[in-house]
């Protein structure tokens, strides 16, 4: 066994673990810690663009400019563009304009300090993803109404993808951000990465195990990020009702990209088992969902292994 | 199931790749293109998997050079994997504690770093209105299981939890 370079850091509201399998190329191997640090920095970069809890973030600055085409970074543009695409695809069940609704449900605090970071955005009437305009050529975003974007379902996946790109030359590595992850190549035992799906009720156990190579796996669960109000709700809202959906306990998606897997896991979670699986099938990804009663729903392509060729 | 969008004509489910953003996002554009192709044949993914499983051969960068069959003409003389330079531990080994605060109370976490990685993390003290047993359930999520059976676990994050911030504070002391 050849071992790995390992590094953990607390980033983007979770603990990020990066593991790079040691390579026989000693020059490359020696540079691995630096590459890992650069990979970690992508999480900081994405967070500075997309973190709705940080008043100085790009997404918060955007919410202060209503009706104006605002030039934004490539990262924010990519995150918003993809979130809107998934909103369209899920018929608005998933919708990144739920930022204010999330604040109303108590997700308005910087938990490290306990200080309120509420945006102060006052919505007028209902807001929907169609109130966000994009100009691809000018790379601008226009908020047609006062609203706050919540990019929590795409930002972490985007950061994982960027970190993975940073490490691509190593071929064999894993980027894990608190249970959303990308696994490249083979593990230190020269086998595909073995990734468990957390049991949504016995959360110290796995409900099933999948072999991954060059694939991302992301899970949305009702057991994560319980609401501060402690009223049985959780951190995922159905944008159409502004309530937490209750039909799904966890939704896991496997895709080539973590951003795709992350967003579609959330969208499938909101849509419920039947429509959720349909969405995943349509999108050409694999997925498995469990209801609170542990009934299992999956795409036809969902198998015990997702081994993709190197991108 | 995809209703035609009322205001605009073309109903492409995923956007076209962005015109010319920065190079940074190149791989994501590739993914998107590929998704479109896959949609044309939704069975592609499923069909690919068994074949590729069978094909998965020795890794290009052999993790265990000894396993490479001698018959293959190695382009590079396989050097013994003997990394003389140990990876720079980015977290210092040791045991650290930190406090996390939420509106519901405070939690003290203790984190043990071994070989630069979080080996374990547990609640040392719990002064919240949640029960300690409820919070204890989320502790394993901080530490990846390192059994032979599972490399990683896909699950949930606990960003709003005081425990996370207690771990964060502990980790900051380990730098």
Task: Report pLDDT digits (tens) over B131-148.
Answer: 555 455 445 445 544 333
Nearest residue, CB atoms, A218 vs list B31, B154, B158: B154
The winner for highest mean pLDDT among A10-24, A175-189, B9-23, B118-132 is A175-189
Residues B114 and B146 in one domain: yes
* Token couple for B65: 């050079």
Residues B65 and B102 in one domain: no
Of residues A132, A134, A124, A126, the one with CA closest to residue A149: A132
A4-45+154-307: CATH superfamily = ApbE-like domains (3.10.520.10)
Find residues 31-50 of chain B whose CB sits inside 8 Å of chain A: 31, 34-35, 38-39, 42-46, 48-50
Rounded (10°) angle between helices B26-40 and B44-55 = 110
Domain count, chain B: 2
Nearest residue, CB atoms, A311 vs list B30, B81, B117: B30
Nearest residue, CB atoms, A7 vs list B35, B90, B157: B90
β-pairing verdict for A206-213 and A305-307 = parallel
Nearest residue, CB atoms, B90 vs list A15, A33, A185: A33
Q: Provide the CB-side half-sphere exposure for A68 (13 A, CA).
A: 9
By C-alpha distance, the chain B residue nearest A171 is: B61
Query: Is A125 at the interface with chain B, CB within 8 A?
Result: no
Find residues 56-115 of chain B whose CB sits inside 8 Å of chain A: 56, 58-65, 67, 76, 78-79, 81, 83, 85, 87-88, 90-91, 100-104, 115
Residue A292: what pLDDT? 92
Tell me the torsion sign for CA atoms A149, A152, A158, A162: positive
What is the interface pTM, i.e. ipTM, of the complex? 0.86
The ranges assigned to domains in chain A are 4-45+154-307, 54-153
Residues with Cβ < 8 Å from A138, sequence gap 6 or more? A69, A71
Answer whether residue B50 shows pLDDT above 60: no
In a domain, B4, yes or no: no
Find residues 54-93 of chain A whose CB sits inside 8 Å of chain B: 74-75, 77-78, 81-82, 84-85, 88-89, 91
Rounded (10°) angle between helices A32-50 and A74-89 = 70
Residue A139 · residue B113 · CB < 8 Å: no
In a domain, B123, yes or no: yes
Domain that holds residue B58: 11-78
Gap between the Cα atoms of B142 and B109, Å rounded:
11
Answer whether residue A32 shows pLDDT above 90: yes
Q: How large is the C-alpha radius of gyration of chain B?
A: 24
Gap between the Cα atoms of A253 and A268, Å rounded:
9
Residues B98 and B161 in one domain: yes
Which of B78, B110, B129 represents a domain boundary (last residue)? B78
B54 — phi, psi (to 5°)?
A: -65, -35
Q: How would CATH label the architecture of A54-153? A: Orthogonal Bundle (1.10)
Tokens 């970190």 belong to A163
Gap between the Cα atoms of A104 and A149, Å rounded:
14
Gap between the Cα atoms of B38 and B162, Å rounded:
42
By C-alpha distance, the chain A residue nearest B5 is: A88
* Residue B28 to residue A218, Cβ atoms within 8 A: no
Residues B48 and B111 in one domain: no
Query: Is A138 at the interface with chain B, CB within 8 A?
Result: no
Mean pLDDT along residues A96-118: 69
Region of poorest pLDDT, from A14-18, A92-96, A202-206, B12-16: B12-16
Residues with Cβ < 8 Å from A31, sequence gap 6 or more? none
Do A4-45+154-307 and A54-153 come out as alike in CATH topology? no
Which of B78, B113, B132 represents a domain boundary (last residue)? B78
Residues B29 and B69 in one domain: yes
Q: Which segments of chain A are extended strands (E)?
A: 4-11, 14-21, 69-71, 109-110, 115-116, 132-135, 140-143, 173-177, 180-184, 193-198, 206-213, 215-221, 250-255, 286-290, 296-298, 305-307
Find residues 148-167 of chain B whose CB sits inside 8 Å of chain A: 148-162, 164-165, 167
Query: Is A158 at the interface with chain B, CB within 8 A?
Result: yes
* Residue A283 to residue B21, Cβ atoms within 8 A: no
Task: From residue A75, give the alpha-carbon distance in Å to each of A132, B4, B28.
Answer: 16, 29, 11
Residues B51 and B108 in one domain: no
Residues B74 and B108 in one domain: no
In a domain, B6, yes or no: no
Residue A181: what pLDDT? 96
Answer whether residue A169 shows pLDDT above 50: yes
* Residue B83 to residue A78, Cβ atoms within 8 A: no
Percent of chain B with pLDDT over 90: 0
Tokens 């035609």 belong to B4
Rounded (10°) angle between helices A152-166 and B26-40 = 110
Residues B25 and B60 in one domain: yes
In a domain, B5, yes or no: no
Q: Give burial (CB, 10 Å; 0-12/13-18/19+) of A260.
A: buried
DSSP 8-state secondary structure symbol assigned to residue A66: B
> What is chain A's mean pLDDT, rounded?
87
Which of B25, B51, B78 represents a domain boundary (last residue)? B78
pTM greater than 0.80 (yes/no): no
Mean pLDDT along residues A216-242: 68
Tell me the chain B residues in contact with residue A305 when contact means C-beta distances shorter than 8 Å: 49, 53
Residue A7 · residue A34 · CB < 8 Å: no
Angle at B62 between CA B57 and CA B68, to 5 degrees: 65
Gap between the Cα atoms of B36 and A284, Å rounded:
8
Tell me the chain A residues in contact with residue B172 when contact means C-beta distances shorter than 8 Å: 10
């Amino acid at each position: 066994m050849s071992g790995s370079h390992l590094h953990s850091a607390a980033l983007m509201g979770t603990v990020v673990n990066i593991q790079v399998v040691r390579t026989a190329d000693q020059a490359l191997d020696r540079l691995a810690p630096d590459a890992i640090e650069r990979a970690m920095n992508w999480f900081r970069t994405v967070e500075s663009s997309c973190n709705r809890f940080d008043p100085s973030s790009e997404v918060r600055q955007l919410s202060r400019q209503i009706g104006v085409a605002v030039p934004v970074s490539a990262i924010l543009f990519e995150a918003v563009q993809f979130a809107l695409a998934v909103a369209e695809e899920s018929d608005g069940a998933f919708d990144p304009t739920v930022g204010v609704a999330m604040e109303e449900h108590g997700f308005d605090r910087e938990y490290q300090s306990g200080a309120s970071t509420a945006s102060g955005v006052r919505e007028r009437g209902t807001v929907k993803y169609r109130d966000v305009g994009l100009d691809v050529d000018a790379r601008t975003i226009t908020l047609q109404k006062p609203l706050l974007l919540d990019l929590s379902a795409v930002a972490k996946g985007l950061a994982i993808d960027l970190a993975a790109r940073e490490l691509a030359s190593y071929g064999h590595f894993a980027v894990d951000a608190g249970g959303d992850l990308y696994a490249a190549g083979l593990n230190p035992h020269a086998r595909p990465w073995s990734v468990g799906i957390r049991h949504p009720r016995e959360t110290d156990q796995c409900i099933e195990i999948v072999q991954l190579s060059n694939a991302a796996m992301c899970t949305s669960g009702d057991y994560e990020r319980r609401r501060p109000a402690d009223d049985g709700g959780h951190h995922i809202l159905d944008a159409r009702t502004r309530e937490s959906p209750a039909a799904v306990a966890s939704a896991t998606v496997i895709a080539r990209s973590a951003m795709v897997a992350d967003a579609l896991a959330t969208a499938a979670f909101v849509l419920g088992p039947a429509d959720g699986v349909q969405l995943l099938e349509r999108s050409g990804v694999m997925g498995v969902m469990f209801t609170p009663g542990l009934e299992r729903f999956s795409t036809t392509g969902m198998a015990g292994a997702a081994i993709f060729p190197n991108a | 199931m995809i209703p035609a969008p009322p205001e605009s004509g073309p109903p492409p489910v995923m956007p076209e790749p962005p015109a010319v953003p920065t190079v940074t996002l190149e791989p994501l554009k590739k993914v998107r293109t590929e998704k479109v192709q896959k949609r044309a044949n939704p069975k592609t993914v499923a069909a690919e998997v068994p074949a590729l499983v069978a094909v998965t051969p020795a890794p290009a960068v052999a993790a265990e050079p000894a396993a490479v069959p001698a018959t293959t003409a190695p382009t590079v003389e396989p050097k013994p994997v003997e990394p003389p330079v140990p990876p720079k531990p980015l977290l210092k080994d040791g045991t650290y504690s930190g406090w996390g605060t939420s509106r519901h109370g405070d939690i003290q976490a203790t984190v043990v770093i071994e070989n630069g990685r979080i080996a374990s993390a547990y609640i040392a003290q719990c002064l919240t209105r949640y029960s300690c047993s409820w919070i204890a359930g989320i502790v394993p999520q901080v530490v990846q299981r390192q059994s032979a059976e599972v490399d990683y676990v896909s699950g949930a994050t606990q960003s709003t939890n005081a425990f996370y911030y207690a771990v964060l504070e502990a980790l900051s002391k380990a730098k």
